[in-house]
Amino acid sequence: MAETLFDIAAERLEEGTEMDRLEARGTLRLALKEAGLDVQNLSIPQLQAVFEKLMPRELEARGVADAAATCKAVMKEIANAASTTELKASNSPDEIFKRLGGS
């Protein structure tokens, strides 16, 4: 089965921190839920925003040292590893609603 962006991100997070698989996936899931994102339909810009704005706080809360730098490093790896995995987002509800109002 093909790896999703979520799988790749959770894997890199696990490698970049001392969290185990379950903890890394759970932490990422919580951050995605807070961001109102669907685990199955993630895009790189969405993950980037989560790692920039929400994950540093989540990691700090779990005792990860230098959480912001860790997030930056993990995000860089995700962007490299997942360049061919990204889903087409032109027909996501957000894109459709954006077009309907002409913005």
Partner 1 sequence: MAEDAYIASIAAGAFFLIASVRLIRLHRRTRERPELLLGLFFALSAVYYLGFNAPSLFRFGEWPAQIELVVEWAYVLGVLPYLLFIRLVFRPNAAWASWSVGTCSALLLLSTLMLTAGGTVEYSLADPWFCFQWAGYTAPCLWLAWEAMLYRQNVTKRARIGLCPPIVANRYLLIGLFGIFQVLACLADLSIANEIGNKMTVSLFTDALLGGAEIASVAVLWLAFFPPLFYTRWITRRAVILPTPMDG
Stretch that binds partner 1, among 1-9, 15-23, 76-84, 86-94 (CB under 8 A): 86-94
How far apart CA 19 and CA 17 sit, in angstroms, is: 5
User: Cβ 71 to partner 1, closest distance in Å?
Assistant: 7
Residues 68 and 56: beta-carbon distance below 8 Å: yes
Pick from 1, 83, 88, 100: which binds partner 1 (CB under 8 A)?
Answer: 100
93 near partner 1, judged by CB under 8 A: yes
61, two tokens: 């809360």
17, two tokens: 């921190």
Residues 54 and 35: beta-carbon distance below 8 Å: yes
Q: Where does this chain bind partner 1 (CB under 8 A)?
A: 34-38, 45-46, 49-50, 52-54, 56-57, 68, 71-72, 90-91, 93-94, 96-103
